[in-house]
Amino acid sequence: MRFIGFEGNQDTKNLLSSFVDRGRIPHAILIEGPQGSGRRTLAKIIAQAAVCSSGDEKPCGVCSHCRKALSGNHPDIILAGGDGSSRSFHIDAVRQLRESAYILPNEAEHKVFILAGAEGMTEQAQNALLKILEEPPKHLIFILTCESRSQLLPTIQSRTVCLTVGAVDVDLAVNAIMRILPETSPEEARQAAAVFGGIIGQAVNGISDGTFKQVVGLAPQIALAVAAPNEIDLLRLTGKIEKDKAACDGVLNTLSLIFRDALVLRSGYNSSISSSPDTAASISKLLTKGQLAALVEEVDRLKRARLSNMNQTLFVTLMCSRLREAAGR
Ligand SMILES: [Zn+2]
């Protein structure tokens, strides 16, 4: 199988190839991963492979099915989904899909439904979908995308083949960022890859919309404010990311690198995985080894808590109090 435009994630590619190369694409595939990790790109590649008429490696990219799929005009590839927000994907949308699900494909061997943002499906919508997944017609393939499989009903999870996509190696991320945004310098691309945790789409968006610059300026100040005698600076600084999920994620990734550097320095070694060595050095003098280790752990815990879909303002409040506590403040 060929994966043009989808970087890294080799385990996922191997698993998918093992199905597609034998001509056995699963009837229901769930792609989980953070925003910007290429979930939709991968879904479209699988859909293209499902309609491709080549007898060789799929998708071939040149047959009439592939050309229509690439231009977004294949009648047997149907995109559906909510707007990504919670409960925006209703039962009516699934009912509409069900009506056309049992009609044979127009031209290809398969009919593919891509359901993006499946975490926005109401429970009713998921149960309606389940009815189709229980006895799918032979020609039908469902591809669902979401942040985490845990956001869907266990009955849906158990009827899908789950593929996980995520961060890619720094070098791959740097190359992809510079290909998409040619005016970016290698240094800037490397830093953006770190700030956005190796998620190419987030790094590209972050550079384009200014979030990257904001995070690079803000994160070292927030790191210092965590260790400050009183909470005022931390509240003022985090107020700037109170409504911005992408910036908040970038700040968490950067804090993780700064606190790790500070911990290594405090332990008597040299380290510079963060791009703020001066900040890390200052913090290593303000906090104990135990407090720095607690901060590294706490930032990891906060990053995992992002999957719970907590309200952004509440999350920032929680973040401030947890970080202050870990720093013994
Ligand atoms: Zn083809």
Amino acid at 137: P
| Averaged pLDDT, 251-277 | 92
Gyration radius from the chain CA atoms? 22
Q: Which pair of structure tokens corresponds to residue 316? A: 């920032």
pLDDT for 18-64, tens place per residue? 999 998 999 999 999 999 999 999 999 999 999 999 999 999 999 99
The number of residues in the chain equals 329
Residues 10, 207, 196, CA angle at the centre, nearest 5°?
A: 45
CATH fold of 10-164 reads: Rossmann fold (3.40.50)
Ligand 1 midpoint to CA 21 (Å): 13
**Residue 84's pLDDT is what?**
63
- Spatial distance between the Cα atoms of 154 and 141, rounded to a whole number of angstroms: 19
**Residue 82's pLDDT is what?**
67
Residues of the chain with CATH 1.20.272.10: 210-326
Ligand 1 midpoint to CA 87 (Å): 36
**Residue 264's pLDDT is what?**
96
Ligand 1 midpoint to CA 101 (Å): 23
Q: Which pair of structure tokens corresponds to residue 178? A: 């510079």
Ligand 1 midpoint to CA 3 (Å): 13
Tell whether the model's pLDDT for residue 200 goes beyond 70: yes
Ligand 1 midpoint to CA 59 (Å): 5
CATH fold of 210-326 reads: Zinc Finger, Delta Prime; domain 3 (1.20.272)
Q: Which residue has the tokens 């929680």?
A: 318
**Residue 123's pLDDT is what?**
92
Percent of the chain whose pLDDT exceeds 70: 98
**Residue 292's pLDDT is what?**
97
Q: How confident is the model at residue 253 (pLDDT cuts 50, 70, 90)?
A: very high
Ligand 1 midpoint to CA 16 (Å): 17
Tell whether the model's pLDDT for residue 138 goes beyond 90: yes
Query: What residues have CB less than 8 Å from 267, skipping those under 6 apart?
Result: 289
**Residue 272's pLDDT is what?**
79
CA distances, 29 to each of 133, 223, 278 (Å): 11, 41, 46
Whether the CB-CB separation of 113 and 140 falls below 8 Å is answered with: yes
Tell whether the model's pLDDT for residue 320 goes beyond 70: yes
Ligand 1 midpoint to CA 130 (Å): 30
Of 49, 51, 56, give the one whose Cα is nearest residue 16.
Answer: 49
CA atoms within 13 A on the CB side of 67: 3
Tell whether the model's pLDDT for residue 210 goes beyond 90: yes
Sign of CA dihedral 275, 281, 287, 293: positive
Residues 51, 57, 59, CA angle at the centre, nearest 5°?
A: 35
Taking all residues of the chain, what is their mean pLDDT, rounded to a whole number? 94
Q: How confident is the model at residue 310 (pLDDT cuts 50, 70, 90)?
A: confident
CA distances, 66 to each of 44, 89, 175, 225, 239 (Å): 11, 29, 26, 53, 48
Residues of the chain with CATH 3.40.50.300: 10-164
pLDDT for 50-105, tens place per residue? 999 999 999 999 999 999 999 999 999 999 876 667 777 888 888 988 888 999 99
Of 135-139, 311-315, 320-324, the range with the highest mean pLDDT is 320-324
pLDDT for 112-125, tens place per residue? 999 999 988 999 99
**Strands of the 28-32 sheet, one edge to the other:** 77-81, 111-116, 140-146, 28-32, 161-164
131 φ, ψ (degrees, to nearest 5): -60, -35
Q: What is the DSSP letter of 149?
A: G
> What three-state secondary structure class fits 187?
helix
